[in-house]
Structure 1
Amino acid sequence: MNVGLGLPINDPAQLLTWARRADTGPFSALGLLDRLVYDNPEPLVALAVLAGATSRVRLQTEVLIAPLHNTAILAKQAATLDRLSGGRFTLGIGTAGREDDYLAAGVDVHRRGRRLDEQLTCLRRAWSGEPYGVGGGDGVGPIGPAPVRRGGPEVLFGGFVPAVFERVARWGDGFLGAGLGPQWMDTAFRDVERRWELAGREGRPRLVAQVNVALGPEPVLAEARKEMGDYYAFTGRPEHMLAGLLTTPAAIRDAVTAFTGIGADEVMLYCWASAPDQIDRLADAVA
């Protein structure tokens, strides 16, 4: 059973403490979300710092909004982080749909899916050591450094539309699903596996589920609900997401068991309370 830990975003100065303590515990990975127009740390920069403070846990974005990024620079950043972490980096990647992020980056939100598809071709080319650029990249490249694994770091796609499942089958190593219960996630997992097989891929995709959690007395839970509600306010239905916040050890254990039962290779516990004692509380809950 692999259980990862999603890092809180409201106090970046705490992240080193979280990472060091989690690295000595039972957790398999540390995850960090991405937004542009929000008060969160930039995930690639933050994870690079955390790579130097840890030696065991994997580090992953959940999920990086790739269309906001310059593709060549993203290829270099991801490969660098993969090398610096000794191959412990996972690039969780997606498009999201928050228009303010795209406006701030000067990117057309309506082209985000097509842009991501174009980016993936270029990323894989760069990570394989081939010349970079459209049309073969004549005279441009290759872009280094080479990642630990030829072809690039592990790539997981997040989202629930059919195009996401197709991207997993064509370019990815697996799927990261967040915000759905086991019954609905089971359907998504099976769709990912079916498309993977139809694409003629060998082996099987890695399947990751993410749930929102916080443990502790009522003031801690109130903080978590506020942070989570603020983050999901853009949906117009933050209460829907808040209903899925797990706040007892039993509920967390049941969720991990249920997701593992439908084939999840890893369950990420995304924590919305900032106190580092959450690490010990969550470790005890899943022990």
Structure 2
Amino acid sequence: MNVGLGLPITDPPSLLSWARRADAGPFSTLGLLDRLVYANPEPLVTLAALAGATTRIRLQTEVLLGPLRETALLAKQTATLDLMSGGRFTLGVGVGGRADDHLAAGTDIRTRGRRLDAQLATLRRVWSGEPYGQGAGPIGPAPAREGGPEVLIGAFAPAALERVARWGDGYLCASPPAMADGLFRSVERSWSAAGRAGRPRLVAQVNVALGPESTIEDAREAMGAYYAFLDDPGWVGLLTTPRQVHDALTAFTDLGADEVVLYCWARDADQIDRLADVL
């Protein structure tokens, strides 16, 4: 199973160093989250910079909030990033649930699911070289990967999980193993019912902080701020020991996950070496 590394958002200039260190290690992917009304770096811009600082590791949005963005420009940006990174880009995408993000973007939070469905249909068409629509021709450049970058759908609700089979190459699950089992199996059932060949790629995400107490407290503070909008954030766990990380990787392997992204919230870049030692 592949193991990726999620990047902290509180110190954007340090991410070039994080990316180079991860690229030299055993990690498969660099993941970066998305918000609008927040102090995080914009993920597509940041991943483009990290693509130039790395040679091997994949680059993944985790997840990009598609409905906040204009579709034609998003198609061009993602195709460009895939091309410039040599096909190393994965578009993890979801709807987003924060009302302030949609307010700032001028989008209707109540229609975000329908908007994402329409966006994914358009992205697939544009990436394949077809005209954008009536009166508008193709939007280039062509991505490095034929048909466009890999698409992972992040979701929890049953209707949203079915989106994986319609538009995705796989599923991105930001839940602990006990919750992920049912979500993985639901995605697989929808995939089979839709007549898709093969199986969806299953990617999990868990939150980690390895190191001294200051590192763990930094991670807890960053997570608390990010998840403050939730009425009950108790399910959002943080793994703080090598044994916990090892056990989570084993559990996700048993569930059939193809990759687990270890998401780092603390700014301590030495976590990269500590996590590499666990692997």
In which range does the TM-score fall when normalised by the shorter chain? over 0.9
The answer for the alignment partner of 1:155 in structure 2 is 151
Name the amino acid aligned to 2:112: R
Are 2:238 and 1:228 equivalent residues in the alignment?
no
- Letter matched to residue 85 of structure 2: S
Mapped to 1, the partners of 2:146 and 2:26 lie a distance apart of 29
The answer to whether the 8 A contact 2:164-2:187 is kept is yes
Alignment partner of 1:216 out of 211, 216, 225: 211
Q: Does 1:198 align with 2:193?
A: yes
1:47 aligns with 2:42: no
Aligned residue identity for 1:109: I
Structure-2 separation of matches of 1:191 and 1:21? 36
Q: Is the partner of 2:102 in helix, strand or coil? A: helix
DSSP 3-state at the match of 1:175 = strand
1:171 aligns with 2:167: yes
Whether 2:238 is the aligned partner of 1:245: answer yes
Contact 2:129 2:140 in 1 (8 A): yes
Deviations 1:197-248 (A, max 9, x none): 111111110000100000111111111100110110011334442xx10000
Give, in whole Å, the separation in 2 of the partners of 1:16 and 1:186. Answer: 34
Aligned equivalents of 2:101 and 2:134: distance in 1? 32
1:120 shift after superposition: 1.0
Matches within 5 A, 1:24-63: 24-63=24-63
The amino acid of 1:66's aligned partner reads G
Report % sequence identity.
71
Any gaps of 5 or more consecutive residues in structure 1? none
- Work out which of the residue numbers 141, 146, 149 in structure 1 matches 2:142: 146
Q: Which runs of 5+ in 2 are unaligned?
A: none
Structure 1 vs Structure 2 CA RMSD: 0.9
1:184 corresponds in structure 2 to: 179
After TM superposition, give the deviation of residue 181 of structure 1 in Å: 2.2
Name the amino acid aligned to 1:245.
L
Rounded Cα–Cα distance in structure 2 between residues aligned with 1:204 and 1:193: 7
TM-score by length of 1: 0.95
TM, length-normalised to structure 2: 0.98
4+ residue runs over 3 A deviation: none
CA apart distance, 1:149? 1.9
Equivalent residue pairs, number: 279
The one of 256, 259, 263 equivalent to 1:266 is 259
